């Protein structure tokens, strides 16, 4: 059997084996296989694993105690806190700005639990967010400025070649080519603020060959070169390059001005987060105050109901005509209702207290029970409408954020119009060239590569123009139109935001007047309810009315006191919400925002830049100076003081304002 027949048999065997196995992929076979390991890999893939992290838990997490509840009602001590103390502790503990998303305060008590951090952690604001935006390596200010950094580039390469030559021995004795080459190049380039690029560099080359017609078997070359490329139309100017950046394209602008605006927008978002946090904190504080007042009113009603029940029971025992079984049942029912109200009020107080602890950033239970000691104001507060409207339009952070968006679109429109110009660049270079047998020879300046750089006159230069013009400018015109539409959109949103702000402000302005009037009305109701209790109790003792009237009067008194305090809290919250909406809540709470200190190098560079500008000459051609984009620092303290009118005798009902018999004290 010859070799051709053997190959045919081998190929036929392969074809038969392939037909038997089909087109399915086959696992390889191993000689010392110890079992089926595929199942082990599948089990490992589907197992839920825990990440290998080491983030220590807060002490307030690991040391928390069992929560206060109806079965665990006794705290070790009472922790009295003012609103200012609560704010200070909350801001000290708030690296992450907590929110009350999922929580609502109703007349029945606080409902729900905070859910933002567990459900949407990426949406949470932190104190690091402004710095994260500023230090972003892709969109931060430093990243935008890095496009203008000087770049030092160097290359070094050595190559050895050995090639066979097909030559006639009679014509040449070189049967192989031997080439040794080496290159070293280094250059420093810099993009300028006007869009141009300047560079300077030097290089050394080595060449050794065995070819004919060479003076030296090996030689060295060297050069020193400087050049530039500068745009004259498209891409030229400081304003364009600070808006778009030197490496931009139509619709993709990432200059330092855009990065700075992004940072200012993030600062506005951070201010909004701090403002919202303080709003939720104050609302929680006053609702805890109301929870105490509600519990107190329910407790007073419970004591009165218990006393009525005991009185009727005693009358029944002695056979007095008021001591009937019906009256005993009514008194007991009234007591049980007040008891349920006390349980609900107690539970609601504990929940409010835990919620305030959450907003402060401390353990939900540590053996102490927080009790607000500040009293809500009942003095009448009057605002001047024209002043608060003007203040809201200038201080609301949402409007300032949107104005930065408008400014960004204005700058992008300026940059997009630059692309309607032809691309015309001026380019030039100048080079000193040298060559010699040696790289450096101190005895002969002209026979070495470095020495001949300036002696032999090997100087090259070039100067020219490079132009590129797209016919039609379709993409460029679309970019301009897109920038115009985006600008129109942002301006329209700003106008509608201002309209919505004025509507909200007018409602809050009216709410202050409404809640104050209702505070007056509920105070009158409370006084009348106390008089009714005394009168009905006296009539009942004289046998002139029924027990039902007494119990009904007690219930009305408890409801009136609860409603009064609810309205006092609503009045204080209305004042807070007006400051919230007009942009002065931070100032109202005595809070200001400040940057952390810069690195020393930043202060040094800022001083150098100020000295350069002081010694420079102004040239108003849009080439050396961009347009103004900021009006300077935002004044955080500038609020309009409201007119505070005396309360006309209105004051919270406290232990000091209630006499021994439950009568209100008035001045």
Is residue 93 assigned to a domain?
A: no
Is residue 263 assigned to a domain?
A: no
User: How many percent of the chain have pLDDT more than 70?
Assistant: 81
The answer to whether residue 199 scores a pLDDT higher than 80 is yes
Ramachandran sector of residue 253 (left: φ over 0; alpha: ψ -120 to 50; beta: rest): beta
Residue 659, pLDDT score: 37
CB atoms < 10 A from the CB of 508, how many?
A: 21
CA 93 – CA 360 distance, rounded (Å): 7
Is residue 35 assigned to a domain?
A: no
Mean pLDDT, residues 616-621 taken together: 58
φ and ψ at residue 546, rounded to 5 degrees: -100, 165
Residue 433, pLDDT score: 87
Q: How many CA atoms lie within 13 A of 150 on its CB side?
A: 8
Question: What is the band of 636 on the pLDDT scale with cuts at 50, 70, 90?
Answer: confident
Is residue 455 assigned to a domain?
A: yes
Mean pLDDT, residues 9-16 taken together: 58
User: How many percent of the chain have pLDDT more than 90?
Assistant: 45
Question: What is the band of 189 on the pLDDT scale with cuts at 50, 70, 90?
Answer: very high
CA 403 – CA 46 distance, rounded (Å): 51
CA 417 – CA 236 distance, rounded (Å): 12
Helices and strands in the chain, H and E counts: 17, 12
Residue 240, pLDDT score: 92
Lowest mean pLDDT among 5-14, 313-322, 617-626: 617-626
**Tokens coding 583:** 């942009």
Is residue 633 assigned to a domain?
A: yes
Residue 45, pLDDT score: 59
Cβ distance 275 to 586 under 8 Å?
A: yes
Cβ distance 462 to 443 under 8 Å?
A: no
Question: What is the band of 24 on the pLDDT scale with cuts at 50, 70, 90?
Answer: low
Whether residues 651 and 566 fall in one domain: yes
The secondary structure of 15-83 as a DSSP string is HHHHHHHTTS--PPP-TT--S--HHHHHHHHHS--------PPPHHHHT--PPP-SSS---SEEEEE-H
Is residue 369 assigned to a domain?
A: no
Residue 664, pLDDT score: 35
Query: 62 or 426, which is more confident?
Result: 426
Whether residues 243 and 392 fall in one domain: no
pLDDT tens for 393-407 read: 999 999 999 999 999
Mean pLDDT, residues 338-345 taken together: 92
> Which of 33-47, 573-587, 611-625 has the highest mean predicted lDDT (pLDDT)?
573-587
Lowest mean pLDDT among 224-233, 476-485, 611-620: 611-620
pLDDT tens for 133-186 read: 888 998 888 899 999 999 999 999 999 887 766 666 665 656 567 888 999 999
* DSSP-derived secondary structure letter, 9: H
Q: How many domains does the chain have?
A: 2
Residue 209, pLDDT score: 83
CA 554 – CA 539 distance, rounded (Å): 14
Which of 387, 133, 125, 264 is closest to 633 using CA atoms? 264
pLDDT tens for 104-125 read: 888 778 888 888 888 888 888 8
The answer to whether residue 655 scores a pLDDT higher than 60 is no
φ and ψ at residue 81, rounded to 5 degrees: -135, 140
pLDDT tens for 137-147 read: 988 888 999 99
Whether residues 393 and 520 fall in one domain: yes
Whether residues 532 and 498 fall in one domain: yes
Whether residues 446 and 513 fall in one domain: no
Is residue 527 assigned to a domain?
A: yes
Whether residues 534 and 511 fall in one domain: yes
Residue 14, pLDDT score: 55
Intra-chain end-to-end CA distance of the chain, in Å: 131
Q: Which long-range contacts (CB under 8 A, 24 or more apart) does 392-395 make?
A: 392/501, 392/502, 392/505, 392/581, 392/582, 392/583, 393/498, 393/501, 394/583, 395/582, 395/583, 395/584, 395/638
Q: Is the pTM of this model over 0.85?
A: no
Query: Mean pLDDT over all residues of the chain?
Result: 84
pLDDT tens for 444-454 read: 666 777 777 77
Residue 479, pLDDT score: 94
Question: What is the band of 646 on the pLDDT scale with cuts at 50, 70, 90?
Answer: low
Question: What is the band of 663 on the pLDDT scale with cuts at 50, 70, 90?
Answer: very low
The answer to whether residue 432 scores a pLDDT higher than 50 is yes
Is residue 571 assigned to a domain?
A: yes
Which of 557, 574, 472, 480 is closest to 518 using CA atoms? 574
The answer to whether residue 624 scores a pLDDT higher than 50 is no
Residue 602, pLDDT score: 63
Question: What is the band of 656 on the pLDDT scale with cuts at 50, 70, 90?
Answer: very low
**Tokens coding 515:** 């809640």
Residue 22, pLDDT score: 54
Whether residues 429 and 525 fall in one domain: no
Query: 194 or 7, which is more confident?
Result: 194
Residue 212, pLDDT score: 65
The answer to whether residue 289 scores a pLDDT higher than 90 is yes
pLDDT tens for 253-287 read: 999 999 999 999 999 999 999 999 999 999 999 99
The answer to whether residue 609 scores a pLDDT higher than 80 is no
Which of 262, 235, 338 is closest to 558 using CA atoms? 338
Whether residues 547 and 445 fall in one domain: no
Residue 309's alpha-carbon distances to 201, 479, 550, in angstroms, are 103, 83, 11
Whether residues 649 and 506 fall in one domain: yes
For the chain, the residue count is 667
Q: Find the domain containing 544 and state its range.
A: 383-409+484-588+609-657
Whether residues 404 and 433 fall in one domain: no
Residue 486, pLDDT score: 96
Radius of gyration of the chain (CA): 42
CA 444 – CA 436 distance, rounded (Å): 10
Whether residues 535 and 615 fall in one domain: yes
Cβ distance 312 to 551 under 8 Å?
A: no
**Tokens coding 245:** 């950046």
Whether residues 504 and 457 fall in one domain: no
CA 667 – CA 656 distance, rounded (Å): 12
Mean pLDDT, residues 502-529 taken together: 95
């Amino acid at each position: 059997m010859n070799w051709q027949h053997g190959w045919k048999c081998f190929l036929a065997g392969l074809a038969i084996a392939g037909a038997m196995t089909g087109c399915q992929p086959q696992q390889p076979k191993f000689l010392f296989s110890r079992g089926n390991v595929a199942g082990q890999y599948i089990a490992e893939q589907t197992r839920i694993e825990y990440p290998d992290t080491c983030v220590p838990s807060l002490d307030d997490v690991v040391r928390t105690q069992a929560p206060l509840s109806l079965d665990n009602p006794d705290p070790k001590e009472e922790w009295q806190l003012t609103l200012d103390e609560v704010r200070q502790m909350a801001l000290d503990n708030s690296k992450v700005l907590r929110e009350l998303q999922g929580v609502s305060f109703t007349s029945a008590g606080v409902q729900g639990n905070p859910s933002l951090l567990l459900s949407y952690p990426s949406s949470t604001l932190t104190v690091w967010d402004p710095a994260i935006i500023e230090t972003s390596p892709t969109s931060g200010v430093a990243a935008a400025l890095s496009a203008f950094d000087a770049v030092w580039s160097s290359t070094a390469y050595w190559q050895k070649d050995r090639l066979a030559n097909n030559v006639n021995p009679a014509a040449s004795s070189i049967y192989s080519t031997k080439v040794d080459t080496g290159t070293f190049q280094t250059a420093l380039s810099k993009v300028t603020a006007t869009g141009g690029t300047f560079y300077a560099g030097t290089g050394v080359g080595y060449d050794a060959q065995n070819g004919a017609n060479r003076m030296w078997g090996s030689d060295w070359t060297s050069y020193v070169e400087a050049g530039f490329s500068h745009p004259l139309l498209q891409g030229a100017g400081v304003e364009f390059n600070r808006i778009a950046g030197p490496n931009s394209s139509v619709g993709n602008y990432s200059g330092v001005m855009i990065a700075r605006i992004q940072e200012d927008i993030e600062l506005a978002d951070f201010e909004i987060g701090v403002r919202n946090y303080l709003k939720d904190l104050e609302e929680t504080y006053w609702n805890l105050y109301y929870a105490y007042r509600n519990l107190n009113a329910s407790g007073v009603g419970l004591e009165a109901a218990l006393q009525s029940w005991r009185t009727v029971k005693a009358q029944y025992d002695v056979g007095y005509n008021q001591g009937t079984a019906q009256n005993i049942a009514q008194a007991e029912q009234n007591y049980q209702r007040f008891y349920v109200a006390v349980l609900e009020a107690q539970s609601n107080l504990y929940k409010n207290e835990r919620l305030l602890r959450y907003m402060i950033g401390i353990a939900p239970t540590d053996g102490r029970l927080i009790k607000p000691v500040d009293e809500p104001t009942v003095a009448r507060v009057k605002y001047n409408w024209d002043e608060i409207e003007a203040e809201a339009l200038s201080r609301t952070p949402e409007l300032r954020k949107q104005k930065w968006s408008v400014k960004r679109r204005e700058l992008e429109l300026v940059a997009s119009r630059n692309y309607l110009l032809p691309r015309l660049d001026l380019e030039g270079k100048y080079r000193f060239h040298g060559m010699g047998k040696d790289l450096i020879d101190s005895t002969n300046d002209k026979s070495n590569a470095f020495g001949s750089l300036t002696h032999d006159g090997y100087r090259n230069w070039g100067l020219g123009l490079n132009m590129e013009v797209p016919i039609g400018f379709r993409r460029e015109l679309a970019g301009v139109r897109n920038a115009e539409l985006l600008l129109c959109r942002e301006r329209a949103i700003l106008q509608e935001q201002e309209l919505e702000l004025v509507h909200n402000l007018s409602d809050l302005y009216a709410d202050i007047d409404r809640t104050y009037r209702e505070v007056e009305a509920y105070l009158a109701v409370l006084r009348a309810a106390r008089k009714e209790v005394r009168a009905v109790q006296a009539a009942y003792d004289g046998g002139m009315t029924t027990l039902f009237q007494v119990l009904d009067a007690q219930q009305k008194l408890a409801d009136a006191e609860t409603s009064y305090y609810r309205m006092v809290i609503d009045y204080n919250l209305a004042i807070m919400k007006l400051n919230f909406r007009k942009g002065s809540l931070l100032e109202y709470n005595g809070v200001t925002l400040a940057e952390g200190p810069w690195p020393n190098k930043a202060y040094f560079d800022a001083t150098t830049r100020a000295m350069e500008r002081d010694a420079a000459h102004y040239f108003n051609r849009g080439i050396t100076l961009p347009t103004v984009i900021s009006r300077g620092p935002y004044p955080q303290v500038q609020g309009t003081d409201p007119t505070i009118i005396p309360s006309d005798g209105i004051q919270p009902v406290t232990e000091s304002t209630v006499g021994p018999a439950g009568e209100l004290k008035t001045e």
